Amino acid sequence: MIKIKVPATSANMGPGFDTLGIALDLYNEFTVEEIDNSLEFVGFEEAFMNKNNLVYTSMMKTFDVIGYKPRGLRIGISNNIPVSRGLGSSAACILGGVIGANELAGQVLSKQQILEIATELDGHPDNIAPALFGGMTTAVKTNNQVFCDKINLSKGVKLCALIPNFHLATKKARAALPTTIPHADGVFNVGRVALLVTALANGNFDLVKVACEDKLHEPYRGNLIADYENIITKGKSLNPLGIFLSGAGPTIMVLLKEDDVNFNKNITSYLNTLENSWEVKELNVDYSGSTISIV
């Protein structure tokens, strides 16, 4: 039996819409096994124990690409990544399926091919790339090709995820975006993407606050999240390095200095005054990406 461990991810980092992402030390674990003439699911909620299961459909797509036909499959999950919260749960399932299928078929795909198949299934590379390679990545998709590189993060950074007890469907969050944007907003984001990457790589943390600003998706999606503006305002008042919407939301991600011991306590006190329940979860960067073992 093959086990695939895939990290959660935070995509759309600050101004890096559909391109910047970072892997987190929170994981889903998948097991895949070829069996005789049946399909079995282990550990999934009942609603996902069918052929619409995202791990299964990702495996079958990969088998089609490779030209491999399994006799039957047993697919298991140990799920720790919150679903529909902007932490890459779908990307993790897709990668678990693509990598698992590749392993069962004899490891015929390169990592680049895995990246491109998984990106095709997900639609965007900004969760897939960091989940596969670990660390912080920048990735773009051109036709069927994905171009990706890792960013050498300076030491001394940790993250804090503010995770609400409600979902936000990616489709709904995507529908909130305009079809066109002002040229000035594009210029605003382009400069800040470059600044964010260089600031985090060089350890110039004083620049991160400004570099995390965004005009491409947060102004539109924030309206879908209860208390979003108030949380952002309160969060900024506690002097983190930066704060931004994680993926399509509703999770809010905070970049902190490694020695910051006050932010979590203070933001928790504030969040406890709100109508909805919010979990404050301290996280670190995962540098390993997806890993494979035999069990």
- Taking the chain (295 residues) in runs of 10, the rounded mean pLDDT of each run is 98 96 98 94 91 97 97 96 95 98 97 97 95 98 93 94 92 91 96 97 96 96 95 97 96 96 96 96 97 94
Query: Domain 2-151+286-294 belongs to what topology?
Result: Ribosomal Protein S5; domain 2 (3.30.230)
What is the pLDDT, as a whole number, of residue 77? Answer: 96
| Cβ atoms 2, 104 nearer than 8 A | yes
Q: Two tokens at 149? A: 């590189």
Of 159, 172, 126, which is closest to residue 264 (Cα–Cα)? 159
Is 71 annotated for ligand binding? no
CB within 8 Å of 7: residues ≥ 6 apart: 23, 24, 25, 26, 27, 88, 92, 130, 131, 134, 286, 288, 289, 290
Helix (H) or strand (E) holding 150: strand 145-151
Instruction: Tell me how far apart the alpha carbons of residues 289 and 148 are, in angstroms, rounded to a whole number.
Output: 14
- Phi, psi at residue 31, to the nearest 5°? -120, 140
Per the annotation, does 84 bind a ligand?
Answer: yes
The bridge status of strand 278-283 relative to strand 145-151 is: unpaired
Distance of alpha carbon 265 from alpha carbon 254, whole angstroms:
13
pLDDT at residue 171 in the model: 84
- Say how many C-beta atoms besides its own lie within 10 A of residue 224's C-beta: 16
- Domains of the chain, by residue range, sit at 2-151+286-294, 157-283
> Which pLDDT does position 19 carry in this prediction?
96
pTM of the model: 0.94
Is 86 part of any known ligand binding site? yes
Q: Which of 164, 166, 135 is nearest to 152 (CA)?
A: 135
Residues in the chain: 295
Does 92 appear as a known binding residue?
A: yes
pLDDT value of residue 143: 87
Question: Is the backbone of residue 250 left (phi > 0), alpha (psi -120 to 50) or beta?
Answer: alpha
- Answer yes or no: is 87 a known binding residue: yes
* Cα 54-60-66 angle, rounded to 5 deg: 135
Q: Which structure tokens are listed for 6? A: 């895939």
- Annotated binding residue at 89? yes
Residue 144 has what pLDDT?
Answer: 82
Closest listed residue to residue 136, CA positions, set 21, 16, 241: 21
269 appears as a binding residue in the annotation: no
Residue 78 labeled ligand binder: no
- Quick count: other Cβ atoms within 10 Å of Cβ 93? 27
Phi, psi (deg, nearest 5) at residue 27: -130, 145
pLDDT value at position 294? 92
β-strand 242-245 against 291-294: which pairing, if any?
unpaired
What is the reported pLDDT for 169?
A: 82
What pLDDT is stored for residue 220 in this prediction? Answer: 95
Fold for 157-283, please state it.
Alpha-Beta Plaits (3.30.70)
